Structure 1
Amino acid sequence: MVDRPKKPSALSATPGPAPQAQVTISHSNNRVAAVLPTGESIEVLLFGATIVSWKDAKGVEKLWVSEAAKTDGSKAVRGGVPVVFPVFGTAPDHAATSKLPQHGFARTSRWEFLGKSTSESSSTSGGGDDSVKLDFGLSPSNLSEESRKAWPSEFGLIYSVTLGRGNLSTSLVVRNEGDAAWEFQTLMHTYFRVGDIAKVEITGLEKSQYLDKLTTPIPSTATSPSSTLTIAKATDRVYSPAGGPEAPVAIKEGGNEKFSIVRDNLNEVVVWNPWEAGAKSLADFAPKDGYKEMICVEAGAVKGWVKLEGGESWEGGQIITAL
């Protein structure tokens, strides 16, 4: 074979586009799903802007959702991450929200999907999207006539759900769109999935004041001991962590840290588990022994009220890292 000195060299491979986060809308335009190139995923119902699934890169579910949960918009979802606004629980002594149902209307109203945004990481192999942010909006035009009559204040909410590699962030912007001042409470009612509640302990709440909603008189105040919190009975407490919102609250299982929660402008943490009798009393809680596989650790602003004058805004959020 003749060796040609000017034979063409092999063509260099043309790099393809970096992998991107995939966002889809399904279930008759009622559910938004996002998947990162590395496999992490979330699903959010437009009803309540409720996160109903958060899976890691291996497809392991991080949230607990009742098998009997209603996801058709007929009632609030039992599980995932419902959004509580403008009242936590019920407030019969607070005139402005006294006519609202438990936990307000945000979790039972249809939100608008405002779109997505992504961030890229050049440090990871192949680049690609490092996170994806989904924005949802709620305003008076989205409310039922009943909710509008019960709470006629002018408002605007933007709820952002950001899926990252190993973490999930949720943040809420609340704006007073009117001239008259009003007050609100809010909470991110996160149901974490665990393997065995008997092996769970919660750190970051030591030596903290809390309201126990299951004692008499209701609620009673106390200060938690210096030991970690374990769950062995029905629990419904509102903690004001001694370390403030910047100090992480962690969920451990079998001595290993499973989740870490860092809060921004959300001063309280609610810890809830219905236990056996409570689970049996809830029609949409299934299986009835599911309380053994869940724990609610909920970041919120629920002690007292946040007041917004006309035109003012407030923002708060949390970052959950799965370990």
Structure 2
Amino acid sequence: MEQLTALTGPTGTGTFTAYDQGAQLAAWRPRADAPEVIWESAHTKHEQGTAIRGGVPLCLPWFGPGVDGPFHPAHGFARIAPWRLRDRHETGHRTVLQWELTDADVTGVPGAEHFRHPFRATCVHDLGSDAEIQLTMANSGSETFRYELALHTYLHVGDVRQVRVTGLEGATYLDKLTGAEQQQEGELVLTGQTDRVYRSAGPVQVHDPVLGRTLTVTSTGAASTIVWNPWAEQAQSMADLGDEEWTQLLCVETGNVLADAVELAAGASHTTTARISVD
């Protein structure tokens, strides 16, 4: 299997790693002497056509099995598609990368047969003392279509069992493990496998006493926040995740999924942005 070629470089005082496949940010830190903010598994395979475990995968044009699914691959075809890098430049203490993907680019990509609509997607990474990921979907056809998306951010934490998540208090959520609709009471402390879709756009703060920092995910153009961690038992069944790596990750995802999927009229576009900052 052909190996992916990494894009690397500085972002002012920090560093980043990204890939053209999936227009995916794989690693970012705001300072070279600071811990990574974006987590990536040491067991992932950087192979063409294989999803990367970690980073910020782009789940598009469906999330999970899809509203109208079940579709394969899970989370859509965009994260394994070959996006085209249209621009890369440095400005001030920031690095900006811009990719593009159209319906013509995904011919033959697994799953593209489930989404037969003309589209143009662009993804911009604006990286410096914070990281901003912007995904724009444009309907270049003559009929309205519906799509889901998620910026599936894997945050690096010291120990997920010790973090506190704030900003979701009072929000309703679907517990995907039980199928039940519930309401968040107080701050979120994870005590087991977690897979929740909150009807909330945040912002969300992850307070990490082990690494001594707070990570904040701020979104625009989004209605959903997804929180996920596999915990020990599920992690052991995942080939691209080490048995103990689950303690180091927490997914806080920005998106429009399930009932909040985007209805996009012909000629229209929609932009969703996630900004990750470190305090």
Q: TM-score range by the shorter chain?
A: over 0.9
1:248 equivalent to 2:225? Answer no
- Give the equivalent residue in structure 1 for 2:182: 222
Shift of 1:248: 1.9
The aligned runs of 1:94-113 (5 Å cut-off) are: 94=68, 98-113=70-85
The C-alpha deviation readout for 1:231-260, integer Å capped at 9, x for no partner, is 11000000123xxx3x52100012954201
- Describe the SS at the equivalent of 1:230: coil
Shift of 1:262: 0.8
1:78 equivalent to 2:24? Answer no
TM-score normalised according to structure 1 size: 0.80
Aligned pair count? Answer: 274
1:158 equivalent to 2:117? Answer no
Distance, in Å, in 1 between the alignment partners of 2:17 and 2:122 is 17
Distance, in Å, in 2 between the alignment partners of 1:248 and 1:195 is 21
Which of the residues 6, 15, 26 maps onto 1:52? 26
1:231 equivalent to 2:187? Answer no
The C-alpha deviation readout for 1:64-83, integer Å capped at 9, x for no partner, is 21111111224101111100
- Describe the SS at the equivalent of 1:229: coil
The aligned runs of 1:267-286 (5 Å cut-off) are: 267-286=223-242
Are the counterparts in 1 of residues 4 and 48 from structure 2 also a CA contact under 8 Å? Answer: no
Alignment root-mean-square deviation, CA: 1.9
Letter in 2 for 1:234: Q
The aligned runs of 1:13-92 (5 Å cut-off) are: 30-36=5-11, 38-59=12-33, 60-91=35-66
Distance, in Å, in 1 between the alignment partners of 2:159 and 2:190 is 11
- Give the equivalent residue in structure 2 for 1:321: 277
- Give the equivalent residue in structure 1 for 2:249: 294
Are the counterparts in 2 of residues 250 and 257 from structure 1 also a CA contact under 8 Å? Answer: no
The C-alpha deviation readout for 1:55-100, integer Å capped at 9, x for no partner, is 2323431122111111122410111110000000013x61xx5544
Shift of 1:164: 1.7
Q: Describe the shift of the 1:75–1:29 C-alpha distance in structure 2 as closer, same or farther (beyond 3 A).
A: closer
Distance, in Å, in 2 between the alignment partners of 1:28 and 1:292 is 28
Q: Describe the shift of the 1:29–1:87 C-alpha distance in structure 2 as closer, same or farther (beyond 3 A).
A: closer
- Give the equivalent residue in structure 1 for 2:214: 258
- Describe the SS at the equivalent of 2:258: strand
Are the counterparts in 2 of residues 249 and 260 from structure 1 also a CA contact under 8 Å? Answer: yes
Shift of 1:185: 0.5
Percent sequence identity over aligned pairs: 27
Shift of 1:196: 1.2
Letter in 2 for 1:51: L
Q: Structure 2: give runs of 5+ residues left out of the alignment.
A: none
Shift of 1:48: 1.1
TM-score normalised according to structure 2 size: 0.92
1:306 equivalent to 2:269? Answer no
Shift of 1:311: 0.9
Q: Describe the shift of the 1:28–1:270 C-alpha distance in structure 2 as closer, same or farther (beyond 3 A).
A: closer
Distance, in Å, in 1 between the alignment partners of 2:60 and 2:114 is 13
Which of the residues 139, 142, 156 maps onto 2:102? 139
Letter in 2 for 1:46: D
The aligned runs of 1:170-249 (5 Å cut-off) are: 170-215=133-178, 219-225=179-185, 227-241=186-200, 245=201, 247-249=202-204
Are the counterparts in 2 of residues 269 and 300 from structure 1 also a CA contact under 8 Å? Answer: yes
Are the counterparts in 1 of residues 77 and 112 from structure 2 also a CA contact under 8 Å? Answer: no
Are the counterparts in 2 of residues 163 and 169 from structure 1 also a CA contact under 8 Å? Answer: yes
